[in-house]
Amino acid sequence: MFFNINQTNGVPVYEQISRQIAFAIASEGIAVGELVPSVRNLSRDLAVNPNTVARAYRQLQDEGILASVRGEGLLVTPTAVKQCKVLRKQLLSERMLQVMEEARQSHLSDDEVAKMVSKCLQKSKTSFAKNRSSL
């Protein structure tokens, strides 16, 4: 698993871990029934405090995304993919709304915003295709 932790973006590290695990489950990069890395291993890999990883895992357990299996660890629940897809859409929608509100505060017209969104969509398609082909 590859996670990217940004200490300066204002989002708590445990929340970044939780979101990235949820996004990985939503895209089926982590499969139903698969064990997630142990707290110790993930904290070592990310160079963060084990309590931070434990907090992220607790959050995912509270949401029913991960379940504890005695003697094994934490695994992805059968309902997790659907939940994570809903969560991913909610988070992305919130972020897009923030951008739209900033555009309004900048007095951009709907047409200007639409053109910007269209350009960004095209750039993201190109970037996504390029990154995918390099894997």
What does the pLDDT look like over 29-42, one tens digit per residue? 999 999 999 999 99
User: What residues contact 108, with CB distance under 8 A and at least 6 apart?
Assistant: 116
By three-state DSSP, how is residue 74 classified? strand
Helix (H) or strand (E) segment spanning residue 135: none
Q: Would 98 be classed as within a structural domain?
A: yes
Q: Would 120 be classed as within a structural domain?
A: no
User: What residues contact 83, with CB distance under 8 A and at least 6 apart?
Assistant: 22, 63, 64, 65
- The model's pTM is 0.79
The phi-psi region of residue 28 (left if phi > 0; otherwise alpha if psi is between -120 and 50; otherwise beta) is left
Q: Would 113 be classed as within a structural domain?
A: no
Q: Would 132 be classed as within a structural domain?
A: no
- 121 φ/ψ angles, rounded to the nearest 5 degrees: -60, -45
**Residues of the chain under the 50 pLDDT cut:** none
Residue 3 tokens read as 């996670």
- Supply the pLDDT for residue 127: 80
Q: How much is the CA Rg of the chain, to the nearest whole Å?
A: 18
Rounded to whole angstroms, the Cα distance separating 47 from 32 reads 26
Q: Would 35 be classed as within a structural domain?
A: yes
Whole-number average pLDDT of the chain: 92
- Supply the pLDDT for residue 1: 63
> Domain span at residue 13?
1-102
DSSP 37: P
Counting the structural domains of the chain, the total is 1
| 87: nearest Cα among 35, 19, 24 | 19
Q: Would 67 be classed as within a structural domain?
A: yes
Q: What is the CATH classification number for the domain harbouring 6?
A: 1.10.10.10
Half-sphere exposure of 102 (CA within 13 A, CB side): 6
